[in-house]
A and B are shown apart, each in its own frame.
Chain A
Amino acid sequence: MSILVEVKDVTKKYKDAPRAAINHLSLTIDKGDVFGLLGPNGAGKTTLISMLCGLFSTTEGEIYINGLTHKTHSNQCKQAIGVVPQEIALYPKLTAWENLLFLGHMYGLKTAPLKEAIKYNLSFLGLESNTHQKISTYSGGMKRRVNLIAGLLHNPQLLILDEPTVGVDVQSKQAIIDYLKKLNTEKGMTILYTSHHLDEAEEFCNRIAIIDDGALVTQGKTKDLIIENNCQSIEEVYLKITGLKFRDK
């Protein structure tokens, strides 16, 4: 498999911060991977994602997307990435249709194929009858599904999902996971997934990296990690490696 994302010895230190948020971290994500990025609160996941998206620059090291960096090829790197933030990053006073149309246009998509993509995705995620309802009238699960669609309208190579199933019911969660699996298997979309639902990560991801205190503590294929650490599940592996100490006190 060819490499889609390469994080090469990256350090990120915020001004006036006592320590680096990301400390000499290196990892790779292959094309077609469903890659789980796990870690306690404050481990550096959001900082790493922000740097992958080109929002923050690295203090040291380099990040490559398809062999290109944000410094020299910002638009190409951004076009290759779709982001689904943890927050419902939608306009509550606009309908689902209006939200998706606006965001699709911001990705530079043409109106006709964009409308087709919106219709297809809304229909697949069971939202076609609510298309012209304002987002403010949606349930949490429905908002999460629209939030997901907004990140993949431009058919990105890498879909970054930050806790995509937080606060949703089982049905919506299953619909989201099933759809992501379909995108991965049928379209070969690479997925970078962060979550505190470790059972979900174990079921969904073929590769996992655990980071703590800004550094990579382990990475590998999901099953290999469980075997190598003599554990029954990823949750056990996670606790064995990161311990029980609170990180966000």
Chain B
Amino acid sequence: MKLLYSLYKEFKVITRDKAGLAITFIMPTVLILIITLIQDTTFRSVNEASVPLLIVDNDHDSLSTVLEKSLINSKFFVITKKQLSVDDAKKEVAKGHYFIGIVIPEHTSDLLRQRSSDRVNKLMSSFSGDTLSSEKIDTSMIRLKLFFDPITKKSFKTTISNSIERIISQIEMQSMVNSLNETMKENFPDAKPSKLEITPIVGLTEEYASYNNSTIIPNSVQHNVPAWTLFAMFFICIPLAGNIIKEREDGSAFRLLTMPGSYMIVILGKMLMYVFVSLIQFALMLCVGLFILPLLGLPQLNIGDNLPVLVLVAFSAGLAATGFGLLVGTIATSHDQASLFGAVFVIILAAIGGVWVPTFVMPEVMKQISVISPLNWGLEAFYGIFLRNFGFKEVFPEVAKLLTFFLVSLGGAYWYQKYRQQH
């Protein structure tokens, strides 16, 4: 019963603290909205079609037309066509207006057709023992110019180059086949050959290695919603620590400690209420991801199919956060000390844990360091549930780490309280 009264008291105290409530719920909502919007473009550049590409077409023939069509079909680029000199095109890319610039020189299509025809003719002549087969043909490459924004990552540059090369190879192949057709028609005027299929014979089936064939691509929403929710949940350590210190300073803790029964009941009530608050925070942030962000043109948060496991992770994270708050509140001697220490520590843990910058873009050393942060444990578990449809078994290690962190914090707070009483 004492626990219930303690819970009720904490509920009243928390719900009447309007400023505290605003910080608890509005701060993470605003953070999620702002950071998700800011990072959306960055995440899209890695994941989705939105690479700005400049085409300077001096060819105005079949190659440029087919190349442009293929680039559009790849859904990887936002294409702009301009008539510029090579130098001006280079400058446009250097200024950062485009990620990539492609300059197609004059008569490229003509040259391509001519060289394809030469190669086919040489091949056909070699069958008939014609002198043409021993003649040399021009094997020099027709050069298209590609300019990359200097800030482009090497891996991304290689990916784009390969894509464009692949498109050009298909155009080359088509040109050769066309030439071959023309030559065959000349040699066999009565024949009615069927069209040679040049569609790819060997293809790749790509899919994300996730459970239940889920093909969710991590995006700004999938990262920022769980990341900033965890940040807010851990930030709860500041009001909780403040609450504990205030009780100590105004004599309430003294009075409660003089009462029969364990003071831990009061602390437990406090802790459970703050875990409840953190769960409300979590639910609210999920709602932001599910209903508010899509209204701003952002992707909808996909929460996976495992709601009970999701709640378990959120509960474990809430316990870890309140345990930490309890430890800070027990050790800190003043409200200022708790606020400063709590805030700085949570910000460091968030930075290490991949809240601000996701761990998958961190250097290797930081990736290894990130595993010490409880926020990283929570984030990894949420990633698992949202992106890979993880179940209890898969998230268990992260849940166990969060619960261990909670128990260690709780034990530390209890030990320190006893130590202070004894000394």
Please list the residues of chain A having a beta carbon within 8 angstroms of any beta carbon in chain B.
14-15, 53-57, 74-76, 78-79, 81, 83, 85-91, 93-94, 98, 101-103, 105-108, 134, 150-151
Contacts and interface: CB of A to CB of B under 8 A. Distances in A.
Interface in B378-423: 421-423
A74 B421 CA distance: 15
A83 B254 CA distance: 9
Nearest to A102: B9
B256 interface: yes
Sorting the interface of chain B by its residue count into under 10, 10 to 19, 20 to 34 or 35 or more gives: 20 to 34
19 contacts: A14-B423, A53-B257, A57-B422, A74-B260, A75-B261, A76-B260, A78-B258, A78-B260, A79-B260, A81-B258, A86-B251, A87-B251, A89-B255, A91-B12, A91-B13, A91-B252, A94-B13, A106-B2, A108-B2
B16 interface: yes
Nearest to A46: B254
Most buried by A among B17, B251, B260: B260
Given A89-B251, A150-B255, A105 B421 contact: no
Contacts of A78: 258-260
Nearest to B20: A93
Q: Which 3 A-B pairs have the closest CB atoms?
A: A87-B251, A89-B251, A85-B251
Interface of B: 1-2, 5-6, 8-9, 12-13, 16-17, 249-252, 254-261, 266, 421-423
A85 B6 CA distance: 20
Given A103-B255, A105-B2, A106-B259, A88 B13 contact: no
A150 B1 CA distance: 19
Nearest to A13: B423
Contact of A15 (B250, B254, B266, B423): B423
B254 A91 contact: no
A83 B258 contact: yes
A91 B11 CA distance: 12
A87 B421 contact: no
B254 A89 contact: yes
Contacts of B255: 83, 85, 89, 103, 150-151
B421 A55 contact: yes
Given A55-B421, A86-B251, A108-B2, A91 B259 contact: no
